[in-house]
A and B are shown apart, each in its own frame.
Chain A
Amino acid sequence: MSDLYYPINDFGPLMKGLAIGGLGIVHVFLAQFAIGGGMLMCYFQWLAQSQGNQLARQFTDGFFKFIVLVSFVVGAITGVGMWFISIQVSPRTIGLMVHYFHWLWAIEYTFFFLEIVSGYLFYRYGPRLPDAARMTLLVAYSIAAWFSLFWINGILSWQLTPGRWHETHNVWDGFFNPSFWPSLLFRTITSMTIAALVACLVANVLPRLERRQREELEHRAARFLAPMVLMPVLAVWYFLAIPHVSRSWVLGGSAAMSLFFAVGTGASLLVGSYAIFGLLRQQLYINWATALLLVSLAFAATAGGEFVREGVRKPYTIRRLLYSNSVSRDEVARLRERGCTTDDPFPLQDADRYPTPQLAKGAHVFRNLCSVCHTLDGANGLVHLTGTWSDEQLRLNISKLQLTKPFMPPFAGNAEEVEAIVQWLKWNANGRPAAWDASIDLAALASIDRWLEEAGTQPGLGVLSKDGS
């Protein structure tokens, strides 16, 4: 049974990618905070027990409460939220991920349990436990938290770089894919960074501490910023591992991608230089405002990074398998014959708004094939992108969609459907008049057919690997 057709909702002016990206940033930031926070607490506990540092012990208890309150609640729920919003945007994508990797997710579930139990036990009983027991709980918590990153990282990086998996369909080939290690290490360091910066913030706001004590805490926490020097190397490694088209979009090929990338890199560089030169070398003391600024910069870096990660997969959600609009690569040829609206059991919600059936069909094509990346006249709005185009241009560029921009998938419908969406775009650009003539231009349909033929059913230039797969 094919599961090509799902109902599709209108997200209004918001692009669907933005919805996932927006929640993703919050979730990733909090999750990484929890992971790095666990490690940092192990370090402070070690200071407490090996050097009898009472301050470190006190801080561990205070900071851990903070981790639990923030990450257990919002972190956990945004995690479930990511799952749900992925379903909203592309049920087929999440369906395939679950299908191929459900055991890894099931493994992650066992780590979640260890994480919440060890974490909560420390939160509740930590102050009443001897050092060895405290350390054991913290280590269990940190390992569990880090492993949840480990497992999910394999599944997410598989989407962009499935590597040998396409040949073998072996779960481990998919999991230990080309971008697995650079991405895992990069995220581990990010986690440590976020935790250290938040610790500086918390050290400033904890009550009843003297300035000297706040300073000591900050300098200890700042050690977790040192691994940031490896970030550039890991970033280069990551970029070498991802498909060269994705790389080229980030480096100028797509304005939006380059912008997000610049934001991410710029913010990371700022945090990194302040960390290395200010905090580590000069041993500066930072007040709560500076700490907050650094945390915000780290958040901006996460934001840039997440948008890039969501964006560079285009035109796929799972490389070489499924396009962003949930049409799989091997379905395009059939849909060219059959049309993408013909068998759809979900009709338009507002079919009677359109003067002609052709316009309604155009709206339907837009919904099925384009709405995942475009709005009509909001973010990445088609009316704005094509406002100045002639009919001919519209027909040509949409028929040859994957050649118009290689980060778009091939058009997965027939010639009537191209003409329908062209008419629908024109009708919208003309202010949606109540009367509109149906276009029955046979010559135009013949050209569209020829252009569709020329464009073929494979992805655009450069999206294919060198061997053409």
Chain B
Amino acid sequence: MFPLDQPGPTAFYLTLYLATFVLHLLPMAYVVAGAAVLLVRTLAGARPVDDPLAEHFRQWLPFILSVAITAGVAPLLFLQILYHREFYTANVLLFSRWMAILPVLVVGFYLLYLMKGDWLWQRPLVVRVTAAAVIFASFAFIGWSWSENHLLSTAGQAVWTEQYVAGRLNYLPGELWPRIGIWLSGVFPVMAAIVTWPLARGEDNADLSATASRLAMFAAIGLVVSLACIGWYLGVLEPAARTAVLDAPLRVWQAAFVVGAVLQFAAWILIWRAGRLEPLPRWLATAGALFMVAALAVGREAIRTSRLDMTALLPRHQAAAQVGGFWLFATFLVINFAAIAGCVYLVARYARPVEAERAMDKRRPQR
């Protein structure tokens, strides 16, 4: 089963890469699709306070963006061990076009904080919509850049040389479009599955029915479009890469993909018909999304490995695996994630509800 069918050190780093990459993709999906929802809802004239979905994203997008960025660090690390030359070459070739993701990220980030405050919501609709549109555009641009960089990194020396001599700062092969299509639509069901949990916990369940069906609609459309893009992508892939995805070593992942898709459709149909976010469909949607994201991440890797000479990379992976520090990492992973759980527990257990706080404020003497 891929990636465990690779030589030891390669399989080891591939597994770590894939596991941490999925941890990046989940908050990333939440951020991109969340920004899209916020844009659509703002366009529709909704004010966050009247719309649980928009309000949720307004409150949580800044933090989850921090999580997405932080979660990107680990795959970035393992990526450099697995494919250092490929990744670096693509980075350098795209140069300022690649580095542009950083200022764009800053802009998107601060606009999210602006959305979170009250100031923006007292401005005219056009200002609010512009802010929401810029936020979405900046995240879409960043995702796009990662795709472009990824494809260039697997394109090989001939393309690199040609690209360099021409001084071209973009790389737009035909397969870029279905690829962007997949993740730009695939983020919706993932976001929707994640967001069911905090929404269902919310206090004012009364008017969640509109939200539930809206969420179901976002998820279902996202699923259908992403499946179509996956078909499109398989169509444009070169035969070797297509075989790599559809071949026997990926059987388990292909199954996970199908099961994931079925579970999600089932979940969203249930939610749509009930107009409520019941626990069972929430679990189904979440499990389905996880299966599908994991399968996509693995399939994506199979395409890359089919394009590179993995045996040539092996000595480097072997050498890296000799370097010390893994056990300390494993230890701190446990300690720090336990500490994180502890922090979350503290807040869940001891935070006073907002109302109590307001009441206390009133009683407190004014300074």
Contact = CB atoms under 8 A, between A and B. Distances in A.
- Is chain B found bound to chain A in the same assembly? yes
Given A109-B70, A129-B350, A8 B92 contact: yes
Contacts of A94: 80, 88
A7 interface: yes
B92 A109 contact: no
Contacts of B336: 110-111, 113-114, 144
A8 B165 CA distance: 11
Interface in A95-115: 95, 98-114
B344 interface: yes
Contacts of B333: 110
A346 interface: yes
Given A87-B91, A99-B319, A99-B320, A129 B105 contact: no
A121 B70 contact: no
Contact of A172 (B71, B76, B324, B342): B324
Interface string B343-367: 1101100111110110000000001
18 contacts: A7-B160, A8-B92, A83-B76, A84-B91, A88-B91, A88-B95, A88-B99, A91-B84, A94-B88, A99-B84, A99-B316, A99-B323, A106-B77, A113-B67, A116-B70, A345-B160, A347-B165, A348-B165
A347 B161 contact: yes
B66 interface: yes
Classify the secondary structure of B's interface with A: helix
A78 B105 CA distance: 10
Contacts, number: 196
Interface string A74-99: 10111011011101100100110011
A8 B91 CA distance: 11
Interface string B77-99: 11011001100110111010011
Contact of A80 (B102, B113, B347): B102
A457 to B, nearest CB: 25
Contacts of B110: 73
Nearest to B309: A1
Contacts of B357: 127-128
B73 A112 contact: yes
Nearest to B23: A113
Contacts of A80: 69, 72-73, 76, 102
Interface of A: 1, 3, 6-9, 54, 69, 72-74, 76-78, 80-81, 83-85, 87-88, 91, 94-95, 98-114, 116-118, 120-121, 124-125, 127-130, 133, 136-137, 140, 144, 170-172, 208, 345-349
User: Which of A88, A109, A129 has most B Cβ within 10 Å?
Assistant: A109
Given A7-B89, A84-B98, A120 B161 contact: no
B152 to A, nearest CB: 11
A103 B328 CA distance: 8
Interface in B305-338: 312-313, 315-316, 319-320, 323-326, 328-329, 332-333, 335-337
Residue of A69, A102, A120 with most chain B CB atoms under a 10 A cut-off: A102
Contacts of A171: 323-325
A128 B325 contact: no
Given A80-B72, A87-B91, A110 B66 contact: no
A138 to B, nearest CB: 11
A177 to B, nearest CB: 15
A77 B324 contact: no
